[in-house]
Amino acid sequence: MAMNIRGAILLIVLGVPAVALLALGPRGRYGIPPGRTVVRYWEKWTGVEGQVMQEVVDRFNATVGAEHGIWVEYNAVSSIEQRTLIATAGGDPPDVAGLYDYVVPQYADQGALRPLDDLAGQAGIRLDEFKPVWLEICRYNDRLYALPSTPYTIALYYNRALFRAAGLDPNRPPQTIAEFDEYARRLTVRDAAGRIVQAGFTPSTAMLGWWPWVWPCFFGGRLWDGQRCTLDTPAGRAAIHWLADLRVAQGVEAMIAFEATAGAIESAQNPFLAGRIALLFQGPWMSNWIAKYAPTLDYAVAAFPSSTPERRHVLASADVFVIPAGARRPREAMVFLSYVLRQDVLEELCRRHNKLSPFRSPQPDFLARHPNPFIRVFDELANSPDAFGYPKMPMWLRVLDEIKQMLNRVLASPEQADAALEAAQRKADAIVAEYQQMAAKRHGGQR
């Protein structure tokens, strides 16, 4: 009997709060109005970026969504590539996903993305309003598989105060690779013990070198010709020797020790913000951190130099929207995307994300109110005929890992530059061959 009473008390103590929580507990922010078709939208953005996108979604739901009977459900998803991939493979993908441009060839080649050429036209999205480079990076095998959301170019940030201290003209950034090399050497400073306290430049991935594969492109090379990964071209060799020579000039051991001291990027210890790196290859978002952690930093932005002054090679990349294959509501998803891609909507998103406008002619207000004071430089770079995106290799991530190994080897042992390049080329060839062989077998099997 005593046991029964105790049991009943336990049931009440545990059961009542559980039932109360179910009945009265927290709900999602919105109840979905009746009669709306739900479009599931997965995005990688969190924090402020996610909040800005949520505002866009809210406005859509309150206006265009209400007219069309559509309700977009925004979900911030970590490791979005993997989750989108698994959901697509499982047959239950989101209707819209916000991915990175570099996975588009890989996913498109596997049939994971829905081509958007026709859908975009039907939804009234005017592709000719966009700068060609942003559509080009969304294409794979001549088909449009993505739409640009927040694009960016990468440029050269340089510390004007350090230029002055080194006797360089702070209004004249380097114009060629040779000049850049000279600047980087002059801007490298050692203490009495020979330790580097300020580096002109480092391509190390440990110190904000986020794009270890780009250097041959500034010598006129491109890493993919449609069939082969082309690392060992004259441009590739020139780039690897440039990096090796610069490394030797700066001092290998001293640079490795220096690079080990990289502080967190989003902090005052960011080496560019702390005045420890004078030349930096980075995107427009850097100005967020400068404004927050080093508001008095005297810096400017210019195009990263190319091997010859008449060429203007520029890395152009973007976060993109895709509709996964098997998405249940592609047309409704396109209604949402056509709203987001309206110039006023998208430019507000891009401005508040500290990115570029993908449009040919950004609205004056976008440029005037942009948080990056050098946004016009970045925007102009996107017009360069030599702008390039990620290599459109469906096996890119494997090759990228080999390129990283090559770069690390060159930076640790510059005398092995040629051997490192040849080894990377061999490995890249093997990866490409294996992929093509499997693809041929697969397509053969399908026929």
Partner 1 sequence: MTRAWSDVRGWRALGTGLLWTAPWWLGFLFFLAIPMGVSLYISFCDYPLLQPPVYVGTANYAALAHDPVFQTVLANTILYALLAIPLGTVVAVLLAVLLNQPLRGQGLFRTCLFVPTVVPLVGTALVWLWMLNPEYGLVNHALRAIGPALEAINGLVARLTGEPSAWLSDLAAGPKWLQAPGWAMSALVLISLWGLGSPVVIYLAGLQEIPQELYEAAMLDGASPVRRFWHVTLPGLSPVILFNVIVGLIGTWQIFALPYVLMRGEQGPERSTYFYTMYLFDNAFRYLKMGYASAMAWIQLLIILLLTGLVFLLSRRAVYYRGA
Two tokens at 331?
A: 């047309």
CA 421/CA 243 separation, integer angstroms: 12
Which among 42, 76, 75, 81 is positioned nearest to 327, based on CA atoms?
42
Q: Based on the shown chain and the rule CB under 8 A, indicate whether residue 143 belongs to the binding site for partner 1.
A: no
Minimum CB separation of residue 260 from partner 1 in Å reads 5
Q: Total residues at the site for partner 1 (CB under 8 A)? A: 35
List binders of partner 1 among 363-402 (CB under 8 A). Answer: 395, 397-398, 401
Q: Based on the shown chain and the rule CB under 8 A, indicate whether residue 416 belongs to the binding site for partner 1.
A: no
Figure out which of the listed residues 57, 97, 99, 112 binds partner 1, where binding follows CB under 8 A: 112
Q: Based on the shown chain and the rule CB under 8 A, indicate whether residue 190 belongs to the binding site for partner 1.
A: no
Q: Based on the shown chain and the rule CB under 8 A, indicate whether residue 175 belongs to the binding site for partner 1.
A: no
List binders of partner 1 among 12-71 (CB under 8 A). Answer: none
Q: Based on the shown chain and the rule CB under 8 A, indicate whether residue 206 belongs to the binding site for partner 1.
A: yes
Figure out which of the listed residues 37, 176, 205, 230 binds partner 1, where binding follows CB under 8 A: 205
Q: Based on the shown chain and the rule CB under 8 A, indicate whether residue 277 belongs to the binding site for partner 1.
A: no
Helix (H) or strand (E) holding 86: helix 80-89
Output phi, psi for 210, to 5 deg: -80, -15
Q: Based on the shown chain and the rule CB under 8 A, indicate whether residue 409 belongs to the binding site for partner 1.
A: yes
Length of the chain: 447
**Range in contact with partner 1 (rule: CB under 8 A) among 145-153, 173-181, 252-260, 307-315:** 252-260
Minimum CB separation of residue 248 from partner 1 in Å reads 18
Q: Are 190 and 321 in contact (CB under 8 A)?
A: no
In this structure, what is the dihedral angle of CA atoms 80, 85, 91, 95, given to the nearest 10 degrees?
40
Q: Based on the shown chain and the rule CB under 8 A, indicate whether residue 213 belongs to the binding site for partner 1.
A: no
Figure out which of the listed residues 227, 310, 445, 447 binds partner 1, where binding follows CB under 8 A: 445
> Ramachandran region of residue 91, left (φ > 0), alpha (ψ -120 to 50) or beta?
left
> Ramachandran region of residue 141, left (φ > 0), alpha (ψ -120 to 50) or beta?
left
How does strand 314-322 pair with strand 387-388? parallel
DSSP, residue by residue, 155-195: EEEEEHHHHHHTT--TT----BHHHHHHHHHHT-EE-TTS-
Looking at the Cβ atoms of 123 and 432, the one nearer to partner 1 is 432
The site for partner 1 (CB under 8 A) is made up of 81-82, 85-86, 88-89, 106-107, 110-112, 195, 205-206, 256-261, 325, 395, 397-398, 401, 404-405, 408-409, 412, 434, 438, 441-442, 445
